[in-house]
Structure 1
């Protein structure tokens, strides 16, 4: 990095103000949530302070729509990580998950100013433009030039210099640099074209085989089609990328499902493609904020404007191209991020969130709704200025300015995030639990017998029927949300497989339908034969 650029970067970083970190949701993985392996103490439905970070000036937080771990950077350059750690993504030299934010000792000699978080890896940038990474490296997402070592438990240096910013998708990484002609470089899994090099690096594993694999790209490589542009901002979804250049144009590439690329179609893009909504008459300012979630993308465009596209709600059509989010029209946006299925925005002296949230990641509180189809204020944070936000798979991180908040912070819960030597313990089923469950079942059965004996009035019956209808409606709604959530989870983790089987001229969806029709046809044929057999028996 040139001395002039280094001085400007250092001065800019010194001016950054820190604040108090708040957490809501859970860092448990989708597998834990599906299997109900989530303890009551693992979920925070209100913004909560973490004991180990109370009073620590946090300037920047990072997570990702496929991440079950968190990264927080302090004003003095320390890097804290916590959450799931099955791939070593916390950088502490082990695979022990942690509830408590812990300083990455391997980075103690450096001042860390930016970070990105993937499905199982973490990449950071220091004040002098050096980049380090740790965690899962099966697809070369750490940018070390090799995939021989699939897991790096401690920070290793990336093969890239003059770094200005970094962002991570599920299994890939994007760096912005100050190198002329190579302002944006990528490494990792190329399956959907999210690296932007005009190919998905697909190949047959064996000759005359339909089994396909994708060649990893472990060395950071500049995107040739953007060599004449200076990329200022970047954001990564699970398998797609959004970027802003110095001329005010937005580019997207990668997986195109649900219209998340904004090109009015769902086709995958292997190279950066300009989003036509942002033309010369509607350019995006250089200080715009970008965000990308599992199924959507968004950007600010001047004062009081947010454009959003992709899958926005579980019901209704997708936004196939960028459209203004009228609910936030006129608001001055400070920061913004998108998670797996939810969004967080810091605007003026308010914090706003919306989306599907079965784990409390919207922060509305214990007696409030969990999910919201439309942007809604987080009431407990009203009046606070938000410095930074980050959204993970099922959690959110918010950094608020401590000045002019009075005793508001003191009213928030403080979590004693102490870890045991074994780290986060998984919930276990004990004999005592089994006995309690059996006793509870017996009590419910006895209560049921008593209810049968008691005569019920027509009013009670009506009320019970109405309540039952309401419960069924809520169950159907919850089932719809969980079904959609599962669909997105499966999609966001598809790229973890090394290879996929394909049949020429058929995709997975067609095979699924064909299989379904085959099963249906077989069942019909079996039923017909059975009826014929019965009729012959009767005749004889």
Structure 2
């Protein structure tokens, strides 16, 4: 659906000048996992989506697929594991179904090659060595994909994806995306803003359903709180869901007035190509940036940062707290070049978004959370034991996690979630440490060409062995048809 040419409804009467201004949601920049906007809006009238072609049967190039097949490892967890309370403002200790874990514990005996979570989410996706998808955590909108809304305390196999080889995944506040080895994308969970990309705003999608997209195969997906991004193998970005702050990159925030006092949004319910990129000079002159092939991106709750094949960085969406990097707090509804990195010496290698900030690793340096001896460090807000130091004390400087301080327990990589942490030890290639307000980071060896992390109010990072050529393949070097 096109979002151009929208007009606001005229005021119903002269009294409209005294009408209260619609209140902006606040949960995007606070410690809340509650849906702030789409629950309050009237549903859009039903639309007839275009017919879908059959699911692609041809697999992605083998070289590309191998980059997703990481050496599996065992899952470990720390922090809050009462999933119905994770990342919510109301956090009554008496309602906890399980005690907080102040040190890392082995979660299951199964081995996983990929683990995905996010700080606005209370659920996680695990991909086993044979490409099967397991999910666990909060399931209030069906985001786990089991056809119901029952919380799962342990990882369980997603029935609707048993016949697919899953190579990548992403989670939003209450929705999930899965990518198969043919480049198809499946979605489930909250869809009030169209963030599942099915051509409608049906409130919930309880089982994984193929996203209504007919373009080039998809190699990466990302989720904001209530929007989604997908990247095809030719370097083109497509977005759908809530456009409130311009985070979809379509030169609109989608706002319109239902009445003189009621605000609503034109949701993008199917993937739409992000076609325009621009730069702005110090004098305010605007000019388009051409030949942009995206190779990596990361989504915050309401903003996105992406880098192209020329190592240029672009950002758009909610500009509060300066998270877009443009020396101002203005929202951007079209991807705008971050001028700081616009030189060969400052080329961007990877980008990472939190809820209220962004992080970029340039060609001259690395952010480190796991050192050369595979020791893990954590710092920041220590509530619920998420830092893994056997206490809830905040840490203002990096502190060694003693649990992993041995050769037998060396850490390959970490990832940060809402109020809990996950990690895979030396026996595995992919791991995650999930936290809320503490900072983690991502590093890579020289042979590791691309990596990325999705975060909320912290920075996450991942390492790889020399044999691991690419953590997440988002490059235009693989041209698909």
The answer to whether the superposition gives a TM-score over 0.5 is yes
Match of 1:212 in 2: 263
CA contact (8 A) 1:65 1:238 kept: no
Secondary structure of the residue aligned to 1:277 is helix
Matches within 5 A, 1:412-491: none
- 5+ residue gaps, structure 2, are 1-55, 278-289, 430-436, 438-455, 458-481
Post-superposition CA distance 1:295-328 (Å, at most 9, x none): 121122236433xxxxxxxxxxxxxxxxxxxxx4
Secondary structure of the residue aligned to 1:273 is strand
Match of 2:37 in 1: none
Q: Distance in 1 between matches of 2:94 and 2:273?
A: 42
Q: Distance in 2 between matches of 1:184 and 1:218?
A: 15
* Residues 3-12 or 214-223, more deviating: 3-12
How big is the alpha-carbon RMSD for the aligned residues of Structure 1 and Structure 2? 2.5
CA contact (8 A) 2:199 2:270 kept: yes
Matches within 5 A, 1:332-343: none
Query: Given the alignment, which residue of 264, 272, 296 partners 2:357?
Result: 296
Q: Distance in 2 between matches of 1:37 and 1:298?
A: 37
Question: How many residue pairs get matched?
Answer: 357
Which structure 1 residue ranges, 4+ long, deviate > 4 Å from structure 2? 1-5
Match of 2:377 in 1: 352
CA contact (8 A) 1:17 1:59 kept: yes
- CA-CA distance at 1:385 after TM superposition: 4.5
CA contact (8 A) 1:9 1:127 kept: no
Q: Distance in 2 between matches of 1:271 and 1:291?
A: 19
Match of 2:162 in 1: 108
- 5+ residue gaps, structure 1, are 307-327, 329-344, 405-480, 482-490, 493-540
Match of 1:172 in 2: 227
- CA-CA distance at 1:396 after TM superposition: 2.2
Q: Distance in 2 between matches of 1:370 and 1:282?
A: 39
Q: Distance in 2 between matches of 1:89 and 1:355?
A: 29
Post-superposition CA distance 1:118-147 (Å, at most 9, x none): 110000111221110100000000011111
* Residues 61-70 or 218-227, more deviating: 218-227
Q: Distance in 1 between matches of 2:291 and 2:255?
A: 27
Change (3 A) 1:164 1:37: farther
Larger Rg: 1
CA contact (8 A) 2:312 2:341 kept: yes
Q: Distance in 2 between matches of 1:228 and 1:2?
A: 30
Which one has more relative contact order, counting CA pairs under 8 Å at least 6 apart?
Answer: 2
Match of 1:35 in 2: 92
Matches within 5 A, 1:402-417: 402=427
2:133 matches 1:86: no
Change (3 A) 1:107 1:289: same
Match of 1:8 in 2: 63
TM-score, with structure 1 as normaliser: 0.62
Post-superposition CA distance 1:60-113 (Å, at most 9, x none): 111112101111111210111111111111111110011111111110001111
2:133 matches 1:76: no
TM-score, with structure 2 as normaliser: 0.69
Match of 1:423 in 2: none
